[in-house]
Structure 1
């Protein structure tokens, strides 16, 4: 179904923008520093679509629903284009399932890579002050804190990344058949 290079190109471009939109959502949920240069780039890349949506769709608590709706729309567009270009057909409810499951899958993927970068940074550059390292720390800190409430660090050894990786991998395996 994905052997066509144009389908692969559509997936790469759409998933890259979906990643940026989901990153904006995560940055707002974690209350990351929006004066960080990387955050500013994410905001500039998504504002042309998010700002008009905000006029129509209000935020719900800390969740920027405009960014969430944009993420669902980008994933829906990806599914629609991939299905159309590959000549496949899926039922109407399939579009909703692929859209929601694919968005959650990519959100988990974002957290997986953020966690991996966080673990590597803790080995090679602990306490780094690079804007990227600071942003990764702000994104992953809520996950670490939530897991450390259940599994506290053992002396100087923090096992929470292992359990977070296992949980993310398990959830991604459940959603993998529905991600495009």
Structure 2
């Protein structure tokens, strides 16, 4: 692979991955009913609405789940996989759709786990550096991770002022990431 094509692959992968992450974040923030008026939530809504709103007319939500967001993330991931293969010199017809679908689903699950993993790491570092401070980003991360953290706190309550729920969640996420990678 030439330097130009590897640079193009990196650029496409990065930009495509960031947009897919924004779509997944929009799904997750709606799922946990995060603050819609948070400036970061508003930015995510503005970035994802052009592609998501037309899809919502065709794919309705079900049971509080925004299926249009998940569908858009899957479609974008499939397109990203095809584009990356074509940039590397493969023909689109040579790549079977079932394999692309499996790779795309694996990538989406991995991205969801990464979102939670990095959210937990940022929360842990922020609790050491600036405990009790207000930041719109940290507020969203807390709203995103609190439903999972609170379930773990029911089983393992804070001991001596130390909350081990974040550590347990990180261990669970690492285990899930290893499981998905082994599939």
Whether contact under 8 Å (1:24, 1:43) holds in the other structure is yes
Q: Please report how far the alpha carbon of residue 82 of structure 1 lies from its aligned counterpart in structure 2 after TM superposition.
A: 1.4
What's the counterpart of residue 52 of structure 2? 50
Whether contact under 8 Å (1:118, 1:140) holds in the other structure is no
Find the structure with the greater CA-based Rg: 2
Equivalent residues in 2 for 1:52-131 (5 A)?
52-88=54-90, 90-131=95-136
What's the counterpart of residue 36 of structure 2? 34
Give structure 2 stretches of 5+ with no counterpart: none
Q: Which one of 11, 17, 23 corresponds to residue 25 of structure 2?
A: 23
In 2, Cα distance between equivalents of 1:164 and 1:84: 38
Task: Give RMSD over aligned pairs.
Answer: 1.9
Cα-to-partner distance string for 1:107-152 (whole Å, 9 max, x where unaligned): 1111111111111111112222221121111111112112212222
Q: Please report how far the alpha carbon of residue 2 of structure 1 lies from its aligned counterpart in structure 2 after TM superposition.
A: 10
Specify whether residues 67 and 131 from structure 1 end up closer, same or farther in structure 2 by C-alpha distance, changes over 3 A only: same
Higher relative contact order (CA 8 A, sep 6+): 1
What's the counterpart of residue 132 of structure 1? 137
In 2, Cα distance between equivalents of 1:81 and 1:69: 18
What's the counterpart of residue 175 of structure 1? 180
In 2, Cα distance between equivalents of 1:27 and 1:173: 25
In 1, Cα distance between equivalents of 2:112 and 2:28: 9
What's the counterpart of residue 165 of structure 1? 170
What's the counterpart of residue 154 of structure 1? 159
Q: Please report how far the alpha carbon of residue 73 of structure 1 lies from its aligned counterpart in structure 2 after TM superposition.
A: 1.1
Give the TM-score of the pair, scaled to structure 2: 0.90
Give structure 1 stretches of 5+ with no counterpart: none
Give the TM-score of the pair, scaled to structure 1: 0.91
In 2, Cα distance between equivalents of 1:2 and 1:56: 41
